[in-house]
Structure 1
Amino acid sequence: MQTNIVRSLTAVATMCFTLVSTAKADVVLPQTLNYSDNAVTASIQVTDTIAVDLSIEFEKVVGLNPETLTISAEMLTPNALSITERLNSLLVSPTTAFPVVVSITPDPDSGFAFEGVATVELYTKAIHYTPDLPLRLFTSHADGTFTDMTTLVSAGSIRARGNTGKFSDFMIMLDTRTPANIVSDKVSDIESFLSLHGNLIQPVTLAAIEHSMTLLSFAVSDQDFDSALEEVDSLISLINAAPAGAMPDVWQASDTLVNVEGELKSKFSSLRYALRVM
Structure 2
Amino acid sequence: MSQQSLLSPVTRLLCGLALCLCLPWASAQDLPVAVSVTGNVATVRVGLPSQPQFAELTLAFDDASGLSAASLGVSARLVDVSDPALLARLPDGSVNQLQAAFPLMLTIEPPAQGGLSFRRTVHVEVHTHALSYVAGSPLRLFKAPIDGSFRDITDDIAPGSIRARGTTGGFSQFLVLADLRATSDVVAAKFARLQTLVSQVPLAERGPLQMDADSAQAAYAQGRYADALNALDQLRARVQDRAGLAIPDEWRATRDADNIAGELLASANTLDFSIGYQRDYGH
Q: Which bin holds the TM-score, normalised by the shorter protein?
A: 0.7 to 0.9
TM-score relative to the length of structure 1: 0.84
Structure 1 residues 46 and 267, CA, compared in 2 at 3 Å: closer, same or farther?
farther
Deviation at 1:243, TM superposition (A): 6.2
Contact 1:46 1:74 in 2 (8 A): no
* Match among 36, 42, 45 for residue 43 of structure 1: 45
Query: What letter is aligned with 1:77?
Result: D
Provide the aligned C-alpha RMSD in A. Answer: 1.8
Cα distance in structure 2, aligned partners of 1:60 and 1:185? 29
Structure 1 residues 144 and 194, CA, compared in 2 at 3 Å: closer, same or farther?
farther
SS for the counterpart of 2:69 is coil
The aligned counterpart of 1:264 is 264
Where does the alignment leave 5 or more consecutive residues of structure 2 unmatched?
A: 1-26, 279-283
> Larger % of helix: which?
2
SS for the counterpart of 1:106 is coil
The reply on whether 1:153 has 2:157 as its aligned counterpart is: yes
The aligned counterpart of 1:3 is none
* Match among 74, 86, 89 for residue 86 of structure 1: 89
Deviation at 1:244, TM superposition (A): 4.2
Where does the alignment leave 5 or more consecutive residues of structure 1 unmatched?
A: 1-23
The aligned counterpart of 1:12 is none
Percent identical among aligned pairs is 26
The aligned counterpart of 1:17 is none
* Match among 56, 63, 67 for residue 66 of structure 2: 63
The reply on whether 1:219 has 2:219 as its aligned counterpart is: yes
The reply on whether 1:210 has 2:213 as its aligned counterpart is: no
Structure 1 residues 35 and 244, CA, compared in 2 at 3 Å: closer, same or farther?
closer
Contact 2:243 2:249 in 1 (8 A): no
- 1:244-259 equivalence runs, <5 A: 244-259=244-259
Cα distance in structure 1, aligned partners of 2:48 and 2:168? 24
Cα distance in structure 2, aligned partners of 1:72 and 1:262? 23
- 1:26-37 equivalence runs, <5 A: 26-30=29-33, 32-37=34-39
Query: What letter is aligned with 2:172?
Result: S
Cα distance in structure 1, aligned partners of 2:29 and 2:168? 26
TM-score relative to the length of structure 2: 0.83
Query: What letter is aligned with 1:220?
Result: Y
Deviation at 1:247, TM superposition (A): 0.9
The aligned counterpart of 2:4 is none
Deviation at 1:37, TM superposition (A): 1.9
SS for the counterpart of 1:108 is coil
Structure 1 residues 144 and 59, CA, compared in 2 at 3 Å: closer, same or farther?
same
The reply on whether 1:111 has 2:115 as its aligned counterpart is: yes
Cα distance in structure 2, aligned partners of 1:192 and 1:146? 17
SS for the counterpart of 2:109 is strand
Contact 1:184 1:220 in 2 (8 A): no
* Match among 129, 135, 138 for residue 134 of structure 1: 138
Query: What letter is aligned with 1:191?
Result: Q
Cα distance in structure 2, aligned partners of 1:232 and 1:128? 30
Contact 2:57 2:124 in 1 (8 A): yes
